[in-house]
A and B are shown apart, each in its own frame.
Chain A
Amino acid sequence: MKRFPFTAWDAGRRAMPLLSRLKGRGLIIGVPWFWLGLFFLLPFLFVLKISLAEPALAQPPYTDLIEVIGDGLVSISLNFGNYVLLWDDPLYRGALFGSIQIAAVSTLVCLLLGYPMAYAIARAPSHWRLPLLMLVILPFWTSFLIRVYAWIGILKGNGLLNNFLLWTGLIDQPLEILHTPLAVYIGIVYSYLPFVVLPLYATLIRLDLTLLEAAADLGCRPWKQFLLITLPLSLPGVIAGGMLVFIPVVGEFVIPDLLGGPDTLMIGKLMWTEFFSNKDWPLASSLAAVLLVVLIVPFVALRHFEQKAGEEQP
Chain B
Amino acid sequence: MPNPRIFKPEEPWQAPEGEPIIRIENVSKRFGDFYAVDDVSLHIHAGEFFSLLGPSGCGKTTLLRMLAGFEIPTEGRIFIDGQDMTAVAPYERSVNMMFQSYALFPHMNVADNIAFGLKQEGMPKAERETRVAEMLSLVQIEKLASRKPHQLSGGQRQRVALARALAKHPKILLLDEPLGALDKKLREQTQFELVNIQERLGITFIVVTHDQEEAMTMSSRIALMRDGRVEQVDPPRRLYEYPASRYAADFIGSVNLLEGFVLSQEDNRVLVRSEEAGIDLEVIHSHPLIAGTPVTLAVRPEKVRLQNAESSLPNRLRGVIKEIAYLGDVSIYHVELPTGKRIQFTQSNIQALAEQPLTWDEEVELGWPANSCGVLEQ
Contact = CB atoms under 8 A, between A and B. Distances in A.
B148 interface: yes
Contacts of A214: 97, 99, 103-105, 164
Nearest to A222: B91
Interface stretch (B54-62, B113-121, B235-243, B324-332): B113-121
A312 B105 CA distance: 10
A217 B106 contact: no
Nearest to A233: B107
B150 A311 contact: yes
A219 B92 CA distance: 6
Given A213-B70, A213-B99, A219 B106 contact: no
Interface string B265-308: 00000000000000000000000000000000000000000000
A270 interface: no
A217 B97 contact: yes
Contact of B116 (A218, A221, A232, A312): A218
Interface string B106-131: 11000000001100110000000000
B91 A210 contact: no
B90 A208 contact: no
B89 interface: yes
Contact of A211 (B89, B91, B103): B103
Contact of A314 (B68, B92, B150): B150
A229 interface: yes
Contact of B117 (A213, A218, A233, A311): A218
A313 B101 CA distance: 14
B47 interface: no
B99 A312 contact: no
A211 B105 contact: yes
Nearest to B161: A214
Contacts of A311: 150
Interface residues of B, number: 28
Interface in A120-147: none
Contacts of A312: 106-107, 148-150
Contacts of A112: none
Contacts of A220: 91, 116-117, 120
A313 B150 contact: yes
B96 interface: yes
A292 interface: no
Given A210-B101, A211-B103, A216 B89 contact: yes
Residue from the set B116, B164, B168 with the largest chain A CB neighbour count within 10 Å: B116
Contact of A217 (B68, B104, B150): B68
Contacts of A228: 116
B114 to A, nearest CB: 10
B105 A216 contact: no
Contacts of A217: 68-69, 90-91, 93, 95-97, 165
A87 to B, nearest CB: 41
Given A218-B96, A219-B91, A313 B106 contact: yes
A215 interface: yes
A216 B103 contact: no
A314 B151 CA distance: 9
Contacts of B101: 208, 210
B99 A233 contact: no
A224 B165 CA distance: 19
B149 A314 contact: yes
A314 B106 contact: yes
Given A213-B70, A313-B150, A314-B149, A218 B168 contact: yes
B105 A219 contact: no
Nearest to B90: A216
Given A213-B70, A215-B116, 6 more contacts: A213-B99, A214-B99, A216-B89, A217-B93, A219-B168, A220-B120
Interface of A: 208, 210-211, 213-221, 224, 228-229, 232-233, 311-314
21 contacts: A211-B106, A213-B68, A213-B70, A213-B90, A213-B97, A214-B104, A216-B89, A217-B68, A217-B90, A217-B96, A217-B97, A218-B96, A218-B120, A219-B91, A219-B121, A220-B91, A224-B120, A232-B107, A233-B107, A312-B106, A314-B106
Interface of B: 68-70, 89-93, 95-97, 99, 101, 103-107, 116-117, 120-121, 148-150, 164-165, 168
